[in-house]
Each structure stands twice: as structure tokens, then as C-alpha cells.
Structure 1
Amino acid sequence: MELSVVQGDITEQGVDAVVNAANRAVRGGGGVDGAIHRAGGPEVLEDCIRRFPHGLATGDAGWTTAGKMRARWVIHVVGPNYRGGEKDRSLLTSCYARALAVADELGARSVAFPLVSAGIYGWPKEDAIAAAVCTLRSTPTQVEEARLVAFDAGTYAALVAAVDA
């Protein structure tokens, strides 16, 4: 699998699936979650309500339509809330592994990932990057390209350094 890094808007990526860093309710929110729901339109929320009537557990993943986005699917993952006391790294790595498993079930060959839990949930950025890169590299998958999408230049530079290391 090719592991690539781009700086930009995850909602505009030309991939089969984009990964959403969702909350447990999977009903939209801030950050990446809010951006995906705004870009995808009401179809994303409607599909979330239908597919996840009770939400998703931390570390788990599920998919919906991508609505009006270029991607075909959104793979929703629920990262651990470090600021809220969820500091079990296996929950964070599970998000990436489960997203790849869901992508395989869907037949997705290209998937764009945000840096899960490193925003409002406060996971230390350096460790969030290490967890993402290590898990994406070590998880067996049929996905041909995993694209890490950085919103800002600092995160982009740190991701490039980790991928190139």
C-alpha cells in the first residue's frame, strides 16, 4: 500500500472513501466531523441515523454515503478523547485498522485519513502521527493508497517527516 501525505481539505479529496473523525453519537460535530457533514449534505446525517441508531463505540468504524462529496463513502471512526481521560492508545490505533477493514469490505482502493483524535480530543500530535503511520503501514489491507490529509502546514511537515523516516 502507498502511504501518501497531502495538505488540504479532506472533503475535497478524490478518493473512494474519506475517514471522518466522529464522536460517539455520529451525528456531526466540529472539526473534521462538521466539515464532512457540511460538504456531504443531509444525506450523510440521514445515513448515520439509519446505520448507527445508537452511535459507535470508541475505536470502532462504520460507513455511510459521502453525499455530495467526490468520494463515494465516508468511513466514520470514533477516536479516543484524550482530554476526557481516554488515553488507551489501542483505541486510537483501532480507528485506523477498523477503517481499513471497512474499506476492504466496501472494495475501496483509496482512502483519505485525517489525524484522528489530534484536534479537539487533544491526543498529543507526535504520538497521534506515530500511531497513524505505524498502524497504516502494518495493517493488512487491499487498500492501494492511504492518504493522510493535513489541514495545516505544521501537521503536514510532521506527517511527511514521519512517513519518510
Structure 2
Amino acid sequence: MDIDQIFANLEFLSKSEDSEKINTLFHNIVVSLSNFLKFTPVHKNIRIYLNNKKTGTSDSPFDIGVIRGNQEEIIQIEIVQEYVKFLPFILLREAYYAFLPKRTKSVDVAINSIVEKNLESLTQIDNWRLMIRTFFIDNTKILGAFERHFADNEVTIFFLFNYIRKIPRNKKNS
């Protein structure tokens, strides 16, 4: 998977405030990831909305910028207005989440590291990293290990998602 090629226009295209264009972009990202991972997403019915609310809070750095909900078996992801500048990061993160049967903190850390590595050339990367790291007391130990040894290896990313898919869903993982 040539992530640079797939997401070359992500920053430019995500500047749109048109929900339909953003949904099309999101679903194109999911299709690209599906082709790379060689399986379909666990969560297929996802709709992205732009929320006009000025602020939104999250207890988790890995949910920053979104309000999630379900309606008639459709996952609804509302992007809070103040986080639209991070739209490429949010869209890619949510696309990766679509392939996870169950989210855990350790997997969320890995996904964030992958997203940061995939989109490290974007103009907002330093602001994104700073925002995520404010949630951690010693962020260099928690997040740094993934960045140095994990996220830049496509084989490792492929292995991670295939491994997660094979873990029995009733088994507790954290």
C-alpha cells in the first residue's frame, strides 16, 4: 500500500465543508484500506456529519473532535466544528477504526501512531501531535515506542489488523 499516493490529496480534499464530499472521501479511504488489508471493514454503515457546535470535549485523545452515535444500524460520526482543521487525521483514524471489531486503549494508541506516520507531511501534524500528547503525563514513553518501531512498517500494520480480526470477540483485551 502506497499510503502517500492514496492520501496525497487528503489535506486538499478535506478542506471542503460539504458533508457529501467528505463522506465520499471517507468511503474512498475505507475502500483503499480494505484493498490493502485484504478484508472488508467490520463497520460498513458509517455516516460522517459536520457539526456546527463550536466546542466538543472528549475524555479520550483517540476520540478527539468527534461525537459518535447510532441510528438505525448506522454509525454516525459528527465532526465538531473546532476540529475541522484536523479533518484528514480524523477521517483516517475513523477509517482505521471501521476495521476493528473492538477498540481498546492499546489499539487506539497504535492507530494514532499509524495515522501520524501516514500523514506526517501534512501542515497540521505538529498541532495534532501536541493536542494528542496533552492527554499523557509522559507521552514520550507511551507514544514514542510506537512511532519509532511500529507505525512506519506496512507489514506490521497489515499484521496488526489481521491479528486483531482473529482475536475471539468475547476475549477481554486491553
> TM-score scaled to structure 2, two decimals?
0.33
TM-score if structure 1 supplies the norm length?
A: 0.34
